[in-house]
Amino acid sequence: MSEVPKPHQPLVTHIYTADPSAHVFEDRIYIYPSHDLDHDGPVNDNGDQYKMEDYHVLSMADLNSPVVDHGEVLHVKDVPWASSQMWAPDAAYKNGKYYLFFPARDHDGIFRIGVATSSSPQGPFHPEEQYIPGSFSIDPAVFIDEDDAAYMLFGGLWGGQLEKWQTGSYVEDAEGPAPDAPALGPRIAKLSEDMLSMSTEALEIVIVDQEGKPLTASNEECRYFEGPWMHKYNGKYYLSYSTGTTHKLVYATGDNPMGPFTFQGTILPPVLGWTTHHSIVQFEDKWYLFYHDCSLSGGVDYKRCVKFAELTYNSDGTIRMIDPYPEK
């Protein structure tokens, strides 16, 4: 158990954590992060430095309570179809069960998305024998709408292999779109009632600018890179994500979870480290952003720490940009 967390400070310091997926289950805040390993291996654009192989679950009674680490809840060795790199997960509750959605490389080195179940939000989680049929790439994020329909968003460029699936099949040497062509968007699919498969084909979400034109691949300040998240506020759907190469968390809004979404602006400017990944959750009457940076390790990109900050809206529904380092 840690001390009481403070905004913009690491939630835990005894392990490296990243990619926080935050939810309110059973009146507690649960955080499902990835678990960075402490190693000194090679660093490259393929993401080999991100060697994560297991998941821990963190929780706290509220934002003024100590963080509890519930320990390892799933390891790659327990997943028959997976070989390595248990990257950013998400969790959901439906049908009286808790579901952990996670990406990993299969035994051919291709990223797929798996699911594991538990009777408790604390885990442990028990994986399905096979990955979700038709799944690919990384960064699953599950959104359950007010009508109880569940959607899974996913996809990440470069190491996340999204470019390799533009034809609908895996093409090892595929490249991204031309600079002036529409950027690749995240994928979204409806989940089956049992949450173990996709009940619809995974479709690409279109993100447009204020004039209704699709964001182009060269628009690295705004276009999608990885880490999708969806939440709903005052009847509007908010799609937020990382821009990757320009290291921002940004968002777009729409009237339908399947899109299209109109780009709105920046939630979080760049933090220390290359990656940025987040979740947004409402707890009681406030909203919070959970994110990560590399401050705990002094700036090592693949040794990250999870943090949080309060998120606020303007009267028109736009999100106020958060300063990740307000003390500077």
The CA–CA distances, whole Å, from 302 to 16, 23, 37, 117, 312 equal 9, 24, 8, 28, 29
CB atoms within 10 A of CB 42: 8
Phi and psi of 163, rounded to 5°?
-60, -30
Phi and psi of 68, rounded to 5°?
-105, 130
d(CA 89, CA 101): 6
d(CA 31, CA 126): 18
Among residues 154, 38, 142, the alpha carbon closest in space to that of 99 is found at: 142
Q: Which of 36, 204, 226, 293 is catalytic?
A: 226
Which residue has 């760049």 as its token pair? 270
Among residues 307, 20, 246, the alpha carbon closest in space to that of 141 is found at: 20
H-helix or E-strand spanning residue 208: strand 207-208
Tokens at 147, concatenated: 């009508």
d(CA 154, CA 139): 5
**36 noted as active-site residue:** no
* 182 prior amide bond cis, ω within 30: no
The CA–CA distances, whole Å, from 125 to 18, 86, 98, 102, 117 equal 19, 14, 8, 11, 5
Q: Which of 19, 139, 163, 293 is catalytic?
A: 19
Helix ranges (H only) for 80-177 are none
**DSSP count for the chain of H helices, then E strands:** 0, 21
**255 noted as active-site residue:** no
CB atoms within 10 A of CB 298: 8
Tokens at 11, concatenated: 């939630």
Catalytic residues: 19, 226
